[in-house]
Chain A
Amino acid sequence: MGMTTAQKIFAAHLVDEPFAGTKVLKIDVVMCHEITTPIAIADLMARGKDRVFDPTKIKAVIDHVTPSKDSKTATQAKMLRDWARRHDIKDFFDIGANGVCHAIFPEKGFIRPGNTVIMGDSHTCTHGAFGAFAAGVGTTDLEVGILKGVCAFREPKTIRVNLNGTLPKGVFAKDAILHVIGNLGVNGATDRVIEFGGPIVGQMSMESRMTLCNMAIEAGGTSGICAPDMVTVEYLWPFISENFASKEAALAEYGVWASDADAEYDKVIDLDLSNLEPLCTFGYKPDQVKPISEMAGAPVDQVYLGSCTNGRLEDLRIAAQVLKGKKIAPTVRAILSPATPHIYQQANAEGLIEIFMSAGFCVTNPTCGACLGMSNGVLAEGEVCASTTNRNFMGRMGKGGMVHLLSPATAAASAIEGKLADPRKYL
């Protein structure tokens, strides 16, 4: 019997099976940010266990509220900063070098096929795009990860989702994943890994694959996963070129993590996306999805472009293509937060920042802030945001506010029209 990627990773990282069905895994990468880590640090100190299992395997970033907005967030940042220095954690990213965790850590080449990754953040599933098992965990799991380099899981079954056909013009990875979530429901993948495959995924960039895997949690999934292939190798090549004689050699080594042809899945879902329209959420759950044609014209107060879902260079290029030479409607405000300093600099070098600013966007530093209503774009009661983020829970971006999740292209078109709008006429 063949094995899935998740099964292979579990088998290779198994430390203990204390009870049937519970597997304690060795963790390759423990990632930390300033919201969920400080309480773990404080607890370790209180227990007299202020240690880290391996400082080279711990990555840390200040990203949720940065630069700090008040004394409390400054204290959180300071706790993470002091801890990283105290334990000689070299891969720590502070103001000036910091970006959204699930964008900056892949950009630095930290995640490799076959890795196990945890972080105190539900969108950790993003890193499965590299053929890794990557799971969001709470502060206690994070604390044990920091201290011992292990984490316990019920071994998840795998749902295979094949994205077949070709993506039509104006339809992107964000639309594809909204369609998948609409199909699975918000708990359709609980205790499951969602493995994305099929011809569309094979042709996708790593950025698009990260967008897919990022929202696996919105269907309840433990991790998203894409099989490592030459696209993965090309992305990682600047970081691995000294380890391999050729890209083919790297592919041969990484390829072993792909699911076997005869692997057994919990479920296989085939979706032909050739006729998919750009999508948009309409309610307060990410599985409440409709074609943009049915939503066009709905009012919007703010447009937000950024986050671990859609704040990467590819996203900015698509939105800029829609916005070039145009102005946003006078009735909306639009905010762009490039997800990392590197993305920001690249976008600047390519002239994209100029396009956004000329259109009337406010361009902020890289941060998670607005996505979860913490800073840099919080909504007022009764306001509506067209957003490239990942959660449309009631009040998510600000108490009493509503969020429509959509692609960067659809967000840009909506900014131009000042209401939800179909991007296809601008592409």
Chain B
Amino acid sequence: MKTFGGPALFLDRSDINTDEIIPAKYLTEITKEDLKPYLLEDLKLPGFDPKAEKTRSAGVVVARANFGCGSSREHAPWVFEVNGITAVIAESFARIFRQNMFNCGMAAIELPAGQIDKLFGYADVADASIAIDVEGQRLTIKGGGREESVSFEISPFDKALVLAGGWVDYADTKY
């Protein structure tokens, strides 16, 4: 199982789409590792720079509603994975992106808007980091001398996929 956590990258917008996460022109790459330089290349947000150290060192992304909408490209979870980001926390996800994350053994965690607001309270904290306990369904955010924990819901199937390390092994054993 992957470990989930690390420095938090806050992307303060709803409807961040897969073209923004990884533009289609890079879908010609055949290996996941080749996607690495293009993380969030077309995302335009005030103060956000895809090449900044803060982006490159992130372990967890925090965003608003309908994250990952648009294309079915699993290149979106992969570009996160090869950059060390194994979890996205958002108010809601587009279905295919959410499933792709769990299918890769990664975590797409939904929290109510109020809890997401609470996490965004750490957006300006330089050392904000999040640790996620998928089995215990609890995450902890730390930074600037503060610390808070919140519990989250995850479907039993999605949890099983994370614990199994993804859908291919799970399915090939079972079906």
Q: Would you call A70 an interface residue if the criterion is a C-beta within 8 Å of the partner chain's C-beta atoms? A: yes
CA gap between A330 and B24 in the complex, in Å: 30
Take A120-B72, A186-B69, A187-B69 as given contacts and tell me if A72 and B42 are in contact as well, using a CB distance cutoff of 8 Å.
no
**Is B25 in contact with A21, judged by CB distance below 8 angstroms?**
no
Q: Binary interface profile of B, 98-121, with partner A (CB < 8 Å = 1, else 0)? A: 011001100000000000000000
* Residues of B contacting A47 in the complex (Cβ-Cβ under 8 angstroms): 168
Give the size range of A's interface with the partner.
Answer: 35 or more
CA gap between A112 and B122 in the complex, in Å: 52
Take A49-B172, A144-B168 as given contacts and tell me if A395 and B92 are in contact as well, using a CB distance cutoff of 8 Å.
no
**Is A122 in contact with B96, judged by CB distance below 8 angstroms?**
yes
CA gap between A373 and B71 in the complex, in Å: 13
CA gap between A372 and B75 in the complex, in Å: 15
Interface stretch, picked from A37-45, A165-173, A253-261, A299-307, is A37-45
Take A16-B175, A285-B15, A399-B42 as given contacts and tell me if A43 and B155 are in contact as well, using a CB distance cutoff of 8 Å.
no
Interface stretch, picked from A135-143, A230-238, A317-325, is A135-143
Which of A16, A20, A222 is within 8 Å of B174, CB to CB? A16
Take A19-B160, A140-B167, A148-B171 as given contacts and tell me if A374 and B24 are in contact as well, using a CB distance cutoff of 8 Å.
yes
Take A24-B175, A49-B172, A395-B42 as given contacts and tell me if A138 and B94 are in contact as well, using a CB distance cutoff of 8 Å.
no
Q: Within A19-43, which residues are at the interface with B (CB < 8 Å)?
A: 19-22, 24, 35-36, 38-39, 42-43
Q: Would you call A108 an interface residue if the criterion is a C-beta within 8 Å of the partner chain's C-beta atoms? A: no
**Is B96 in contact with A137, judged by CB distance below 8 angstroms?**
yes
* Residues of B contacting A396 in the complex (Cβ-Cβ under 8 angstroms): 19, 24
Count, A-B residue pairs, CB within 8 A: 145
* Residues of B contacting A43 in the complex (Cβ-Cβ under 8 angstroms): 168
Which of B17, B20, B103, B171 is within 8 Å of A138, CB to CB? B103
Q: Would you call A191 an interface residue if the criterion is a C-beta within 8 Å of the partner chain's C-beta atoms? A: yes
Most A-side CB within 10 Å, residue of B20, B32, B93, B95: B95
Nearest Cβ in chain B — how far from A288, in angstroms? 11
Which of A42, A143, A374 is within 8 Å of B30, CB to CB? A42
* Residues of A contacting B32 in the complex (Cβ-Cβ under 8 angstroms): 39
Most A-side CB within 10 Å, residue of B73, B92, B96, B156: B96
The chain B residue with its CB closest to the CB of A75 is: B30
* Residues of B contacting A140 in the complex (Cβ-Cβ under 8 angstroms): 74, 100, 103-104, 166-168
**Is A21 in contact with B30, judged by CB distance below 8 angstroms?**
no
The chain B residue with its CB closest to the CB of A15 is: B175
Which of B30, B95, B103 is within 8 Å of A191, CB to CB? B95
Most A-side CB within 10 Å, residue of B17, B42, B70, B93: B70
**Is B28 in contact with A72, judged by CB distance below 8 angstroms?**
yes
Q: Would you call B123 an interface residue if the criterion is a C-beta within 8 Å of the partner chain's C-beta atoms? A: no
Q: Would you call A298 an interface residue if the criterion is a C-beta within 8 Å of the partner chain's C-beta atoms? A: no
Nearest Cβ in chain A — how far from B82, in angstroms? 13
**Is B155 in contact with A154, judged by CB distance below 8 angstroms?**
yes
Nearest Cβ in chain B — how far from A254, in angstroms? 27
Q: Within B16-65, which residues are at the interface with A (CB < 8 Å)?
A: 17, 19-20, 23-25, 27-32, 42, 44, 65
CA gap between A120 and B171 in the complex, in Å: 17
**Is A138 in contact with B73, judged by CB distance below 8 angstroms?**
yes
Q: Binary interface profile of A, 172-197, with partner B (CB < 8 Å = 1, else 0)? A: 00000000000000110011000000
The chain B residue with its CB closest to the CB of A372 is: B24
Nearest Cβ in chain B — how far from A390, in angstroms? 10
* Residues of B contacting A70 in the complex (Cβ-Cβ under 8 angstroms): 28
The chain B residue with its CB closest to the CB of A391 is: B70
**Is B25 in contact with A374, judged by CB distance below 8 angstroms?**
yes
**Is B94 in contact with A147, judged by CB distance below 8 angstroms?**
no
Q: Would you call B129 an interface residue if the criterion is a C-beta within 8 Å of the partner chain's C-beta atoms? A: no
Listed in ascending order, the chain B residues whose CB lies under 8 Å from chain A are 15, 17, 19-20, 23-25, 27-32, 42, 44, 65-66, 69-74, 77, 92-96, 99-100, 103-104, 155-157, 160, 166-168, 171-172, 174-175
Interchain residue pairs A-B with the least CB separation, the first 4: A138-B100, A138-B74, A140-B103, A22-B157
